[in-house]
Amino acid sequence: MSDNDVMHLAVQAMMLGAKLAGPILIVTLVMGFVISLLQAVTQVQEATLTFVPKVIAVALILLFMGNWMMHETVTFTENLLHDLPRVIRNGR
């Protein structure tokens, strides 16, 4: 396995991680901003007010985008396992 193969695999893995985490992180960021704005306007400082809506938003994202996330992960794994013999053969 050459250095280029390792770097290519690492870049693909990081891109997959970014694609899978991106929607969840964006939704929680937006929800956090909206809730903080609401708390600042109403001066209500309740801890559960920040936690529960974020959990519900993440659950909805996983419900609606979970199939796509699983498909991306399975595709990456299939490609990795498909290319493994070539990588091992070229490394020797």
Reading phi first (left if > 0) and then psi (alpha if -120 to 50, else beta), residue 44 is in beta
Chain mean pLDDT for the chain: 89
Q: Both ends of the chain: CA-CA distance in Å?
A: 8
How far is 53 from 73, CA to CA, in rounded Å?
27
The answer to whether residues 2 and 90 touch, using CB atoms and an 8 Å cutoff, is yes
**18-38 pLDDT tens trace:** 999 999 999 999 998 999 898
**52-75 pLDDT tens trace:** 889 999 999 999 999 999 999 999
How far is 78 from 84, CA to CA, in rounded Å?
10
Q: How far is CA 67 from CA 15, 22, 25, 64, 70, in A?
A: 18, 15, 17, 7, 5
